[in-house]
Amino acid sequence: MLDVKAGDEQSFTLLLHRYRSPLINFLYRMVRNREQAEDLAQEVFLRVYRAREEYVPSAKFTTWLFRIATNLALNSVRDNRYQRMEISLDAPVTADTEDGDEKTMDVAEKHPNIEQRLIEETRKKMIRHAIEKLPEKQRAAVLLHKYQELDYGEISKILECSESALKSLLFRAYETLRVELAPLVARQAKQ
Amino acid sequence: MSCSRMESKILGYVDGRLKESERLEMEKHVSTCAACRVRVNEFRTVNVLLDELPMIEPSAAFDIRLHARVAAEPAKQSWWAWSMPAPRVAFAAAMLAVAMAWVGSRMPNDPLSADDIDKINQNLPVLENYDVISDFSPLSDLSQQAPDDDPSDSNQSQQM
């Protein structure tokens, strides 16, 4: 980011290539709409670009990046601006997934058996649904913890709370997930 | 360690983010508490299940769109740039300066001297008469009619 600040356009492209996929996936899981997730990701990168000259490396770049992304996502979810366009992750497979963007298709191809494929699909639906049902802040905490693998310090800065409050938030979120996914958890325990 | 205190550590224990001393403390508790052992296992399972959530790939147009938007961003200007006028404003200001200089060059540089003013005052009646005469319509009519007069009339009058 310091190279970007120094005016190196190539470094901005490198940042984009490194962070666009995790950022889009984070936003996708937050707002539950692919187009909106990409729009928000564009906005995040534009804000990074605009603020490049004022950037001070007081925190990790990922913390700064995901703080912008989280604020945009939380505002977007709360504003409910895109409610009209909202497409549930449970929605039937459409152009969104038909283009092979989701790895669900790959998994299905590995299990040509229809019954097996249905089981896999049901499992994924349950997991998506359990995450969707979490309150926004808990959802953001789980996504940053589980998929971005950020440490507690970073996540607490992003969500603007203390580390102890974050641990409590995460514990409540995982407890909810444990209850929501109880049938899968029990099945997994038997195997 | 109590079961309630374990709640704040269980996630760190499951994903291996605890300090060594905390981890050992947790293991000691879990080995003696069946309820917490079950919960730890269930948290581990939830953690594994979350790995199954599919990822999406950015659309092909994402980079193109973003680069276009970045290119459309106005370039950052230093304070020096702010002190420099825009080209059109600079051109207009230059043209105005040239026009003022031209008008200034056509105006008399020296004010009237006292002698000039005296001369004007002396000739003022003549100038006033000139103003009256030059705008006196009967005279202007006369001057227009003069060429039409018959020269024989003048001869007759001389004879008379």
Closest-CA distance, A79 to chain B, in angstroms, reads 24
What single-letter DSSP state applies at residue B37?
Answer: H
Residue A82 CA, distance from chain mean position: 17
Domain ranges of chain B: 3-50, 89-137
A132 near A32, Cβ under 8 Å? Answer: yes
pLDDT of residue B124: 77
pLDDT of residue A117: 85
**Residue given tokens 């004007």 in the structure block:** B120
Residues of B in contact with A177 (CB under 8 A): 46, 50
**Best CA proximity match to A20, nearest among A1, A2, A37:** A37
Closest-CA distance, B19 to chain A, in angstroms, reads 13
Q: Is residue A63 part of a domain?
A: yes
Q: Is residue A102 part of a domain?
A: no
- pLDDT above 90 coverage of chain A, percent: 50
Residues of B in contact with A53 (CB under 8 A): 76
Q: Is residue A30 part of a domain?
A: yes
A134 near A173, Cβ under 8 Å? Answer: yes
Q: Is residue A10 predicted with pLDDT exceeding 90?
A: no
The C-alpha atoms of residue A138 and residue A63 are separated, in whole angstroms, by 17
Residues of A in contact with B26 (CB under 8 A): none
Rounded mean pLDDT, A73-89: 67
Nearest to B58 among A38, A103, A123 (CB): A38
The C-alpha atoms of residue A41 and residue A141 are separated, in whole angstroms, by 18
Tokens read off for B77? 């200007």
The C-alpha atoms of residue B90 and residue B86 are separated, in whole angstroms, by 6
Contacts of B27 (CB under 8 A, 6+ apart): none
Closest-CA distance, A97 to chain B, in angstroms, reads 9
**Residue given tokens 């979810």 in the structure block:** A77
How many C-beta atoms lie closer than 10 Å to residue B36's C-beta? 20
Q: Is residue A40 part of a domain?
A: yes
Contacts of A95 (CB under 8 A, 6+ apart): none
Residue B91 CA, distance from chain mean position: 16
Query: CA quadruple A42, A43, A44, A49: dihedral positive or negative?
Result: positive
Lowest mean pLDDT among A84-93, A94-103, B99-108: A94-103
Nearest to B50 among A45, A53, A127 (CB): A127
Closest-CA distance, B5 to chain A, in angstroms, reads 11
- Categorize the per-residue pLDDT at A56 as very low, low, confident or very high, splitting at 50, 70 and 90: confident
Please state, rounded to an integer, the average pLDDT across all residues of chain B: 76
| CATH number (domain holding residue A1) | 1.10.1740.10
Rounded mean pLDDT, B64-81: 74
A70 near A158, Cβ under 8 Å? Answer: yes
Tokens read off for A104? 């669900």
Domain that holds residue A32: 1-87
Tokens read off for A135? 């309150």
Q: Is residue A16 part of a domain?
A: yes
Tokens read off for A10? 């190539």
Domain count for chain A: 1
Cβ distance B53 to A124 less than 8 Å, yes or no, reads yes
pLDDT of residue A94: 45
Q: Is residue A141 predicted with pLDDT exceeding 80?
A: yes
Tokens read off for B140? 């202007």
Q: Is residue A124 part of a domain?
A: no
Greater model confidence, B113 or A69? A69
Q: Is residue A72 part of a domain?
A: yes
Global pTM reads 0.65
Q: Encode pLDDT of A16-34 as tens digits.
A: 899 999 999 999 999 988 9
How many C-beta atoms lie closer than 10 Å to residue A97's C-beta? 18
Q: Encode pLDDT of B20-61 as tens digits.
A: 999 999 999 999 999 999 999 999 999 999 998 888 999 989
Cβ distance B47 to A146 less than 8 Å, yes or no, reads yes
Q: Is residue A59 part of a domain?
A: yes
At residue A80, what is the residue type?
Answer: N
At residue A186, what is the residue type?
Answer: A
Greater model confidence, B5 or A135? A135
